[in-house]
Amino acid sequence: MGTHADAPRLQKSSLGVVTVSSSDRGTVSGDSLTVSSTDGGTVSSSDAGTMTPDNVTVSSSDGATVSAQSESDLLGKTIHLALGTAWWATGPIRFGGRLAARTAEAVVADARKRSPWLHRQTQGGGADARGATEQLIQSLLRPVITRVVDAALAELDLTELILENVDLDAVAAKLDVEAVIKRVDLDGVVATVDLNAAVERVDLDRIVNRIDIDGVVAGVDIGAVIDRVDVDAIVRRVDLDGAVALVDLDAVVKRLDLNEIADGLDLDPLVAKVNLDAVVDRLDIAAVVARVDPDPVVAKVNFDAAMAQIDLIGIAQKIVDGIDLPGIIRDSTGSLASEAVHGVRVQGQQADDAVGQLVGRVFRRRAAVDGLHP
C-alpha cells in the first residue's frame, strides 16, 4: 500500500473494509478524493471513506492512487459480502418491523384506555408483550450488532486513533485528579499486593549502596529528632527486668576496674545526700561492736601522742568548775560542824537535866516538873 506524503492514507483490513484517513487529522473533502468501486458505484468522502466492495480504487487530486486488492481468503469475503448484503437488504424490513411494532403498541394502548374490559384483561400482560417484542428484537439484532462491533474494533487501531484525534492534554486538564484519588480504594489495592514478593524482588543492597548515608545524616537535625522522641514511653515499654535477667552481671563486674571507678568518684556530694541518721538507726551497733577485736586496734594507738594533744589542765579546770568543789567542802564541813554542835547541845541538855534531877532530889522536887514552866 503506497501513499503520498500529504495524501490520505488507505488501510484495508482482512475483512475487505477500506479505511481512508488523513495525516493532518482533518477531513477528506470530496473534491480531493475519489473512491470508485468495480461495480461502478461512487462513494463520496462524506461517507467516512468506508466501503465494503472487494475492489476499491482511491485516487486523489494530486495523483496518488491506491488499489485495494482482495488478499484474504474467498470464504471470508463471501461471508462478509453476504452479511453486508443481508444487512443492507433487510434495512427496509427492519424499519418496517419497528414501525409496525410501534403502531401495534399505540393501537393496543389506545384500546386499553377506551375499554375497561380490555384494560382488565391486558393488565399485567402489556409489559409481557412489550418484553417479548424487545426480546425478539434483541435476539435477532444481538448477533448482528456483535459481529459488526467486533469487525469495527478489529479494523480500527483505537490507540492510534485516540492519539491522533484526541487532545489528551485537554482531557487531562479537565480531570479532577483529587476526586479520582478519593474514589480509589487504596486499602483494597494494597491488600491485593503481595508486598513480600515485591520486597524480595528489590535489590536492597544496591539501593543502600547508592544512598549517601553521610549526607543524609549530616542533614538530619538530631536534636529535633531527640526532642520528638518520647523516651519515657519507650522506657516504660521496655522490659528492663527481662533485659537485666539476660545480663551476666558476674562477668560484667569481673571486667570492671572498681579501683579506677572509685578514684574518679566525687563521694562528698553523694555522702551529703545520704541520711546517715537513718542508716545508723538501722545498724545493729551492738552486733558490730561485738565483732570488733579491740586488742589490735588498741595496740596500734599511740597514746603518748594522743595525750600530748589533750589539754588535760583545761579539762581538769572545767571538771573542777563543774563540780563546785568549794560548795562540796562547805557542805561537808558544815555537816561535820552541825554534827559536833548537835552533840554539844545534846550533851549540854543532858547535863542540865542531870543537874536539875540532882537539885530536885536535894529539894525533893519531882524531876518531871523541873525545867518546865508551871
Partner 1 sequence: MVQANQQPIGRGSEHRPAGIVTRVAAMGVDMAVVIVLGSLVYVTVAGARLVWSPASFTWPDVSFFVTLVVEFTIAVLYLTASWAMTGRSYGASLLGLRVLSHRGSIPGWPLAFIRAVFCVFFPVGLAWVILSPERRSVQDVVLRTVVVYDWRGADSPTAKD
Q: For residues 362 and 312, what is the distance between their CA atoms, to the nearest angstrom?
A: 72
Q: Kindly compute the dihedral angle of the four CA atoms of residues 317, 322, 325, 331, in this order, to the nearest 10 degrees.
A: 170
Distances (CA, A) of 257 to 248, 266, 291: 17, 17, 30
Query: What residues line the site for partner 1 (CB under 8 A)?
Result: 341-342, 344-345, 348-349, 351-353, 355-356, 359, 363, 365, 369-374
What is the DSSP annotation of 96-158? HHHHHHHHHHHHHHHHHHH-HHHHHHTTTTHHHHHHHHHHHHHHHHHHHHHHHHHHHHHH--H
What the block records as the C-alpha cell of 151 is: 469487525
How far apart are CB 335 and partner 1 at their closest, in Å?
15
Within 8 A by CB and 6+ apart from 53, the residues are 16, 37, 38, 39, 41
On whether the CB atoms of residues 360 and 367 are closer than 8 A, the answer is yes
The least distance separating partner 1 from the CB of residue 341, rounded to whole angstroms, comes to 6
DSSP assigned state of 289: H
